[in-house]
Amino acid sequence: MIPAAFAYARPTTVEEALQAIADGGEDVKVMAGGQSLIPVMRLRMAAPETVVDLVSVSEMRGVRDDGDALVVGAMTTHHDVLVDPLIAEHAPLLVQATETVADRQVRARGTFGGALAHADPAGDLAAVALALDAEMVIAGSGGRRTVPAADFFVDYLTTCLEEGELLVEVRIPKLRGEWGVRYEKFNRVAQAWSIVAVAAAVRRENGHIAEARIGLTNMGSTPLRAQATEAALAGADASAAAIAAAAERAAEGTSPTSDLNAQADYREHLARVLTRRAVSAAAGL
Ligand SMILES: Cc1cc2nc3c(=O)[nH]c(=O)nc-3n(C[C@H](O)[C@H](O)[C@H](O)COP(=O)(O)OP(=O)(O)OC[C@H]3O[C@@H](n4cnc5c(N)ncnc54)[C@H](O)[C@@H]3O)c2cc1C
């Protein structure tokens, strides 16, 4: 399929990009790597009047150390994430999840920010952003605002980004203390989307679990935190029995769909099993 005709803009700064969006007419789409946008345009499920290509906005690409947090530009590709030493040191959970995303070709073009802005509940990186308490830095005509990941994902393929706004960068607080992390993904074949996945970050203190943060992929219309399991783990023994009991609550508060890949009750089962595995590994068991 061939997309409908569109005007094309290729800004080089965030300011130029915002201007190009404002000037682009009724229906403007920004393009990161085009990995989700181009297929949708080819199917004519989207037919924007203007495409604003962010590929030359270099200030939106790369990773920097900002003291207590890493700042990852929205245009940082999945490949860039996988080879970045700062992310390897301070956000290994993001590395583990990104390794499971698609194949080399998609990882070479697809971006961290594009994946988050696309907000597919089967996407692997949103659950990681939730588990790491990331913050989204959003630019618009009125300036910049920062939104916690917990408030960014609003519904299926929907974020809190308003028309004309850009996700510019993502702040990922560094984990301080005795943290372990693990991303557990269940898919039918290698390199496929998650049927369910779990991103776990666990802080241990004196043989106990002081804090657990658990993001769930594909257990509802948005990525979710496994809040009942997190609450059950706070202060619990770092033992296999305590983790298994807490993981039994992983599907509470979720609303997975049934589709050709899995029924909802099977997804709930997967959430419990993968949470037990992810938390056990993150806790060092
Ligand atoms: C074959 C295939 C397999 C895949 N498998 C997986 C997988 O296993 N796991 C997984 O997590 N993902 C998977 N993906 C998705 C991949 O992770 C891409 O990152 C994702 O499709 C987004 O692509 P992109 O960065 O090129 O964004 P684009 O396709 O360019 O944009 C996606 C959407 O986000 C908007 N957007 C992009 N950037 C911004 C921004 N900075 N600010 C505001 N809005 C923005 C665009 O307007 C568009 O609506 C797969 C993709 C493909 C094609």
pLDDT tens per residue across span 130-144:
999 999 999 999 999
Residue 204 confidence (pLDDT): 96
Supply the residue whose CA is at minimum distance from atom 48 of ligand 1.
37
Q: What is the mean pLDDT of residues 170-183?
A: 96
Amino acid at 259: D
Dist. CA 262–CA 273, nearest whole Å: 15
Under 8 Å between Cβ of 268 and 238: no
Query: Using 50, 70 and 90 to split pLDDT, how confident is the model at 25?
Result: very high
**pLDDT tens string 218-276:** 999 999 999 999 999 999 999 999 999 999 999 999 999 999 999 999 999 999 999 99
| CATH architecture type of domain 59-172 | 2-Layer Sandwich (3.30)
pLDDT at 189 over 90: no
The pLDDT of residue 257 is 96
**Distance between Cα 273 and ligand 1 center (Å):** 28
Return the residue matching tokens 């299926």. Answer: 156
pTM reported for the whole predicted model: 0.96
66 near 103, Cβ under 8 Å? no
Counting from 1 in the atom list of ligand 1, the atom nearest the Cα of 33 is: 26
pLDDT band at 1 (very low <50, low <70, confident <90, very high): confident
Q: Where in the chain is the domain with CATH 3.30.43.10?
A: 7-53
Tell me if 35 sits within 8 A of 80, measured CB to CB.
no
CATH 3.30.465.10 residue ranges for the chain: 59-172
180-282: in CATH 3.30.390.50: yes
**For 46-52, what is the mean pLDDT?**
97
Q: Is the pLDDT of residue 191 over 90?
A: no
Whole-number pLDDT of residue 188: 87
CA distance 95 to 90: 10
Question: Of 187-191, 205-209, 260-264, which gets the smallest average pLDDT?
Answer: 187-191
Domain 7-53 has CATH 3.30.43.10: yes
pLDDT at position 20: 98
Averaged over 46-67, what is the pLDDT? 97
- Rounded Cα distance between 263 and 81, Å, is 33
Closest ligand 1 atom, CA of 117?
34
Q: Is the pLDDT of residue 216 over 90?
A: yes
Average pLDDT estimate for 188-193: 86
Alpha carbon of 123 to ligand 1 centroid (Å): 9
Distance from C-alpha of 277 to C-alpha of 275, rounded to nearest angstrom = 5
Q: For the chain, what is the mean pLDDT?
A: 97
- Give the residue-averaged pLDDT of 78-97: 98
Amino acid at 193: W
Residue nearest to atom 22 of ligand 1 (CA): 115
Give CATH 3.30.390.50 domain extents, the chain.
Answer: 180-282
